[in-house]
């Protein structure tokens, strides 16, 4: 299976809301798989982005979520699934969060790219660029 992106992300547990660092791999078929570590021996979970994802939120769109200690709110990502559940992630940096958002497979099955991000991500990118232009 072809790899699109891999790397460390923080994942918030669904029950206790604790942050845990996992190794994530996004495959071309739209599977976002997370493992205990980069050896990829012990799979902790899988999200079928292509079939299950309704939206991906970034940064300040992730309301009511506190990032892990020492991380900015702008590092947050939230995968909203069709069943209403959410998986909240936190990247190591703002740039990494943008890269993960742009690498994701959209619900339609097409890839979003940095040149053509989702509308929510476009608005977030514009809000981040506005202070630099002033």
Question: How many whole angstroms separate alpha carbon 124 and alpha carbon 108?
Answer: 21
Q: What are the CA-CA distances from residue 121 to residues 1, 16, 40, 61, 127 (Å)? A: 27, 28, 29, 9, 10
Please determine, for residue 121, whether its predicted confidence score (pLDDT) is greater than 70.
Answer: no
**Would you say the pTM of this structure is higher than 0.85?**
no
pLDDT tens-digit series, residues 24-59 = 998 888 889 999 888 888 888 898 887 888 888 888
């Amino acid at each position: 299976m072809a790899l699109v992106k891999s790397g460390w992300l923080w994942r918030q547990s669904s029950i206790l809301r604790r942050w845990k660092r996992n190794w994530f791999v996004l495959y071309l078929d739209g599977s976002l798989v997370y493992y205990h570590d980069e050896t990829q021996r012990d799979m902790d979970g899988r999200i079928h982005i292509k079939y299950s994802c309704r939206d991906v939120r970034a940064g300040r769109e992730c309301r009511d979520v506190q990032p892990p200690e020492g991380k900015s709110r702008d590092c947050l990502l939230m995968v909203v699934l069709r069943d209403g559940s959410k998986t909240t992630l936190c990247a190591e940096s703002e740039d990494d969060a943008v890269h993960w958002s742009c690498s994701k497979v959209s619900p339609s099955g097409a890839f979003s790219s940095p040149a053509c991000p989702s509308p929510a991500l476009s608005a977030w990118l514009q809000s981040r660029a506005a202070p630099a232009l002033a």
